């Protein structure tokens, strides 16, 4: 999907969040009870996966972060790291420069780039909605990743300082201001979150393998053959 089409679809998605009573397809799917099944390898796999996901799903606003990451093809751990560094998961955070919400988005960016409409006050209220804020920020970050050839460091620098300043620095992280520290904090946390998730996945895989072996391997005879 090219950047222009992704941006168009992303704008429609973010604006759709403003429609009262909107139900996400994922939420509909999750609300349908799973059919009962006998204990099997598949059931053991599902249990192991649920255990591995438990720590991650307890992160504040994780469902919004996961949906936005999936929608725009941004690594969920990267998006989570940006939210953590930008606002420490405070949906009501407002910076001295006027950036708002979980991903600290400026109302001008929301109006000009994302396409949100309204007065200054209504834009601020919209950006305090975690779902709108995270989707808007993820869409913006996705576009920056496309702009800078998937260079995470440059996309983060542009998210913090603007694309123009990254260009002026020769397509490098600008050395002045808070940007180098921001990029360092986010990339460090991103690496830690990704490593922790990979460790959890490995443990889950080992648990599944052990469960499969316990279910499929024949039992030992009680008496040795004569």
Domains of the chain with CATH codes: 3-17+50-198 (1.10.530.10)
User: 103-128 as b/e, with b when 16 or more CB fall inside 10 Å?
Assistant: bbbbbebbeebbbbeeeeeebbebbb
Using the predicted structure, report yes or no on whether residue 16 has a pLDDT greater than 80.
no
The span from the CA of 122 to the CA of 132, in Å, is 13
How confident is the model over 163-173, as a mean pLDDT?
97
The CB density around residue 195, as the number of other CB atoms within 10 Å, is 11
Contact 106, 76 (CB under 8 A): no
List the structure tokens of 153.
């460091």
Could you tell me which residue, 16 or 108, shows the higher pLDDT? Answer: 108
Nearby residues of 104 by Cβ (< 8 Å), 6 or more positions away: 86, 87, 93, 95, 137
The span from the CA of 68 to the CA of 74, in Å, is 8
List the structure tokens of 155.
């996309």
pLDDT of residue 109: 87
Per-residue pLDDT of 53-104, as tens digits, reads: 544 556 789 999 999 999 999 999 999 999 999 999 999 999 999 999 999 9
Lowest model confidence (mean pLDDT) among 11-20, 31-40, 109-118, 188-197: 31-40
The span from the CA of 41 to the CA of 214, in Å, is 10
The span from the CA of 125 to the CA of 75, in Å, is 27
Q: What are the catalytic residues?
A: 86
How confident is the model over 39-51, as a mean pLDDT?
48
Half-sphere exposure for 93 (CA within 13 Å, toward CB) = 18
Report pTM. Answer: 0.70
Nearby residues of 118 by Cβ (< 8 Å), 6 or more positions away: 126
Using the predicted structure, report yes or no on whether residue 9 has a pLDDT greater than 70.
no
pLDDT of residue 119: 85
């Amino acid at each position: 999907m090219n950047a222009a089409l992704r941006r168009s679809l992303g704008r429609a998605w973010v604006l759709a969040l403003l429609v009262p009573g909107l139900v996400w397809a994922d939420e509909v799917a999750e609300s349908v009870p799973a059919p009962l099944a006998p204990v099997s390898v598949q059931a053991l796999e599902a249990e192991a996966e649920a255990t591995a996901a438990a720590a991650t799903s307890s992160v504040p606003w994780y469902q919004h972060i996961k949906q936005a990451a999936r929608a725009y093809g941004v690594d969920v751990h990267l998006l989570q790291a940006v939210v953590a560094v930008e606002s420490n998961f405070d949906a009501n955070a407002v910076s001295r420069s006027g950036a708002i919400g979980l991903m600290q988005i400026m109302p001008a960016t929301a109006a000009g780039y994302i396409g949100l409409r309204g007065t200054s006050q209504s834009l601020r209220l919209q950006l305090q909605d975690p779902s709108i804020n995270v989707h808007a920020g993820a869409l913006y970050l996705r576009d920056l990743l496309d702009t800078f050839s998937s260079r995470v460091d440059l996309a983060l620098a542009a998210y913090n300082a603007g694309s123009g300043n990254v260009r002026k620095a020769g397509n490098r992280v600008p050395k002045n201001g808070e940007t180098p520290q921001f990029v360092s904090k986010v990339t460090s946390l991103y690496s830690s979150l990704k490593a922790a998730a990979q460790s959890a996945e490995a443990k889950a895989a080992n648990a599944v393998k052990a469960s499969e072996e316990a279910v499929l391997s024949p039992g030992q005879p009680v008496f040795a053959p004569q």
